């Protein structure tokens, strides 16, 4: 059975995540309202612009229901901007944060758009490197004790997991490699 996995569809890489989740064995569903959260086994918070997505969550009255659902056990995977939204804090600025992942994130840590890069990354639990695409990517500046660092670049954590919450600073949906989406789909079962 294909678990129903939502993709927050307010802004960002929605189509790409839907395709990756389909390839990974899930039944992806766009999430634009509180009603769309019903019956989900997990949710992906895509890359995009974290401040904008946070403001849209508030505007569409999704912020608190989404936070409560994840805090209550709904599996969540945040990529890039989604990692920022899941965090308890950011090193600079002020924006809505769900606060369900015990990390403090540095936004745009690797630089501006023209400093984006790709790298083969060793990820805990994968038997071979994952080709990671970093676009104006954050990194984890501080992680709580319960947070497992799954991958790092130059000693900066770029993929973490805490229980049912997974986050990566890079964009797995922009590759043909569905292993991380498969990992997340397994987390929803």
Active-site residue identified among 64, 80, 148, 181: 80
Number of Cβ atoms within 10 Å of the Cβ of 83: 30
Active-site residue identified among 49, 64, 164, 173: 173
Q: Is 64 a catalytic residue?
A: no
By CB neighbour count within 10 A (0-12 exposed, 13-18 middle, 19+ buried), where does 23 fall?
A: middle
**Long-range contacts at 61-64 (CB < 8 A, ≥ 24 apart):** 61/34, 62/10, 62/31, 62/33, 62/34, 62/37, 63/96, 63/98
Q: Is 171 a catalytic residue?
A: yes
CA atoms 155, 96, 165, 123: torsion sign: negative
Whether the Cβ atoms of residue 76 and residue 166 lie closer than 8 Å to each other: yes
Active-site residue identified among 64, 171, 181, 186: 171
Residue entry with tokens 């970093």? 134
23 contacts: CB under 8 Å, gap ≥ 6: 178, 181
Torsion of CA 163, 173, 142, 165, to 10 degrees: -10
Q: Is 186 a catalytic residue?
A: no
Which residues are known catalytic residues?
80, 171, 173
């Amino acid at each position: 059975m294909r678990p129903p996995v939502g993709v927050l569809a307010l802004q960002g890489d929605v189509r790409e995540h839907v395709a990756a989740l389909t390839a990974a064995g899930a039944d992806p569903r766009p999430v634009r309202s509180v009603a769309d959260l019903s019956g989900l086994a997990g949710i992906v918070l895509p890359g995009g612009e974290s401040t904008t997505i946070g403001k849209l969550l508030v505007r569409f009255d999704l912020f608190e229901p989404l936070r409560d659902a994840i805090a209550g056990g709904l599996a969540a995977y945040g990529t890039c901007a989604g990692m920022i939204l899941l965090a308890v804090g950011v090193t600079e600025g002020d924006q809505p944060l769900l606060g369900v992942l015990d990390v403090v994130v540095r936004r745009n840590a690797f630089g501006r758009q023209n400093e984006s890069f790709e790298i083969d990354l060793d990820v805990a639990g994968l038997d071979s490197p994952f080709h990671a695409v970093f676009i104006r990517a954050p990194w984890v500046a501080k992680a709580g004790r319960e947070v497992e660092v799954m991958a790092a670049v130059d000693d900066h954590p770029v993929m973490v997991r805490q229980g049912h919450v997974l986050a990566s600073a890079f964009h797995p949906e922009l590759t043909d490699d569905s292993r991380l989406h498969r990992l997340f789909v397994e987390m929803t079962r």
